[in-house]
Amino acid sequence: QQQVKQSPQSLIVQKGGISIINCAYENTAFDYFPWYQQFPGKGPALLIAIRPDVSEKKEGRFTISFNKSAKQFSLHIMDSQPGDSATYFCAASSGPGSARQLTFGSGTQLTVLP
Amino acid sequence: ETGVTQTPRHLVMGMTNKKSLKCEQHLGHNAMYWYKQSAKKPLELMFVYNFKEQTENNSVPSRFSPECPNSSHLFLHLHTLQPEDSALYLCASSQDRRQGREQYFGPGTRLTVT
């Protein structure tokens, strides 16, 4: 199974609140889990990433939590700001060196209200 | 110009037209990718080039024809498209296929087939 399932499809959060986006996967061969942020009219940009030997990674207000046994990982945005309003994609990477590729979730449209 | 650029940004074409999308990366990378992004769906990997050699074709219809003359440029030639081909076409690059975890995306070409 190469699919990565992402939820929710859309999320509305008040300014200052916590935004949480969840992803689940089946393929245990995945060994790298990035999150991408996409603003309207722009391509996705790498936001933060984690490897499965780590349970949590934090960069500023963004934190990835990773549960290897449950095959789930999530993005937490603390103190959410209107400027965080964007579409967020989780992804997972697998494959031997020459065939490595990313499998993306379907995206979550985040709106942070002022 | 920095990063990954794509031209044109918007394209409207009839089903009998022939057009080309262009991608250029200024990052010194050796792997380049074409993705199709449709609303509320995961990004779909179409083609991969590593050191100018096509290494992946994900069952893409022959009406899409990629070309990679060098590691910095990637084209997607379009002919006799269908309305369901309307989407955002994204180009990405990575250091090489082995480092394909970290991909850098261009802003995309919004294609409308009439």
Q: CB–CB of B104 and A101 under 8 A?
A: no
Q: Alpha carbon B45 to chain centroid distance? A: 9
Stronger pLDDT, B100 or A19, i.e. the higher one: A19
Lowest mean pLDDT among A16-25, A26-35, B72-81: A26-35
Report residue A102's pLDDT band, with 50, 70 and 90 as the boundaries. Answer: confident
Identify the CA nearest to B81 among candidates B101, B109, B103: B109
For residue B73, which amino acid is it? H
Report residue A86's pLDDT band, with 50, 70 and 90 as the boundaries. Answer: very high
Residues in chain A: 114
CA distance A54 to chain B (A): 17
Percent pLDDT > 70 in chain A is: 94
CA distance B69 to chain A (A): 20
Q: How far is CA A87 from CA A4, A57, B47, B103, in A?
A: 16, 20, 24, 17
Residue B100, pLDDT score? 56
Residue B59, pLDDT score? 84
Low-confidence ranges of chain B (pLDDT < 70): 1-2, 96-101
* Rounded CA separation B19/B103 (Å): 26
**How confident is the prediction for chain B on average, in pLDDT?**
89
Identify the CA nearest to B63 among candidates B12, B4, B113: B113
* Rounded CA separation B20/B76 (Å): 6
Q: CB–CB of B102 and A97 under 8 A?
A: no
Q: What is the pLDDT of residues A42-75, one digit of tens each?
A: 899 999 999 888 999 999 999 999 999 999 999 9
Q: Which residues pair with B66 in a beta bridge?
A: B76
Residue A101, pLDDT score? 80
What's the token pair of residue B96? 């090489």
How many C-beta atoms surround the C-beta of residue B48 within 10 A? 26
What's the token pair of residue A35? 């999150």
Residue B61, pLDDT score? 92
R_g of chain B, CA atoms, integer Å: 13
Q: CB–CB of A46 and B41 under 8 A?
A: no
Q: Say whether residue A76 is in contact with chain B using an 8 A CB cutoff.
A: no
* Rounded CA separation A68/B32 (Å): 30
Question: A51 CB contacts (<8 Å, ≥6 apart)?
Answer: A31, A32, A33
Q: Alpha carbon B109 to chain centroid distance? A: 9
Residue A65, pLDDT score? 96
